[in-house]
Amino acid sequence: MQHDETSNRRHENLANLEDLGFGSESLLMTDPKLFMDSAFLAIVTAEFAQELGEDCSRLALIEIGRHHGLSDARRTLTAQSMGDSDRIPSLAPGGPSLAMQFAQPPRPSGDFILRGAWPECHEAGARLSRQGTSVAPSCHLSVGYTEGWLAEIYNAEVQVVEIACRASNSDQCQFEARIRSSDRDQAPSPPENSDLTSPLNGSPSASREHEQAHAHPVAGLAESFLPEATDSATALFSHIDPENNSVHAWGPVMVLPFGDPQLAESTVRALEQDVFTEEIRAVIIDLRGRPVDPNAGFVSIERILKIIDRWQAQVIFAGVSDANRSVLKAFDLACPLGHEKLSEAIALGFRIAEAQRRAV
């Protein structure tokens, strides 16, 4: 049944893309750059608006997003079924390319509403940088991605509505997802690993918001409805392959792989020109399984630290070995050096970001 529904969703998505003039093998369908590079996304959305018009542009972005969401969720579920629990779910390559936060989903019978946010406001930021503010919420790519991701995870029909958008002068980009089982005799439910759809643990306030959502789907969504980050909450983002050189970022927290010191340094230099670094409050440098060269590695770390200091962000090292500890102590850093687990470093990063937010 799951396979049939997956095939139907994919077929419908591809048919819609074909109708809009987009092939499944085009760069926009195969490259996750739309979700990683805000400048690239800004160019794409501006060109779509100019060439396709508002309505067609919106539909195209939704279907492109849905295509990526369906594909990423399918890879995650496939990895899970193979028992590769040490590698999933991660932001890349096995998990979502778009950072999403959800209130803890209930165990419902029948339809239910899942509330959440896109903490990075990635698409809204891209729009603001090139097109300015919008009258209505305009994160169409994110809507499509979230619909595709949740539909595949829950094996259900999903409708996502953006209810607050930074591009239309809200503080956050927030959404509601209505989950409806494809099988009328069975309630929608995720796989046994509920972390796939629960990046953040629930809280009493989140539960109350959910109960109110059935009667008033849009009213009363306070900024505080999303639960605070905790160690268990960051488990979704902690299974990052140490051999993968991709930078991972969720709102105020960024993970920088240090497998290639020169690449890490050039990456940070490039990111310094990106407006998203203004939101970064903690940078985790991932040293897992890698000895730091006391010469070249030391110099690269020193330069990276200077750049991150200009961001006014806190540095946290993860996966620090005994061999690396002596090298790092030479920097006389105020940050913790002893986190062996990446998940602990990420959890600390979110706590630091939250403390700074409350201090403002």
Same domain, 55 and 177: yes
Separation between Cα atoms, residue 257 and residue 260, nearest integer Å: 8
Strand partners, 158: 179
Same domain, 204 and 348: no
Same domain, 213 and 310: no
* CATH number, domain containing residue 169: 3.90.1520
For residue 64, which of 28, 110, 94 has the smallest C-alpha distance?
A: 28
Quickly tell me which residue has 């309505």 as its tokens: 55
**Count of domains for the chain:** 2
What SS3 class is residue 255? Answer: strand
Give the length of the chain.
360
Where does a domain end: 225, 244, 259? Answer: 225
Same domain, 264 and 211: no
Same domain, 17 and 103: yes
pLDDT along the chain (360 residues), means of 10: 73 85 77 82 88 89 94 77 40 65 60 86 92 92 95 90 93 91 54 40 31 27 29 43 74 85 89 79 85 82 91 87 76 58 79 71
- Bridge-based pairing of strands 112-117 and 101-102 is antiparallel
Same domain, 164 and 40: yes
Separation between Cα atoms, residue 357 and residue 360, nearest integer Å: 5
Same domain, 250 and 319: yes
Using alpha carbons only, how large is the chain's radius of gyration in Å? 21
Strand partners, 101: 117
Where does a domain end: 225, 246, 262? Answer: 225
Same domain, 185 and 308: no
pTM of the predicted structure, to 2 decimals: 0.53
* CATH number, domain containing residue 261: 3.30.750.24
Same domain, 203 and 118: yes
Amino acid of residue 31: D
Domain interval for residue 331: 233-359
Same domain, 199 and 317: no
Where does a domain end: 207, 225, 243? Answer: 225
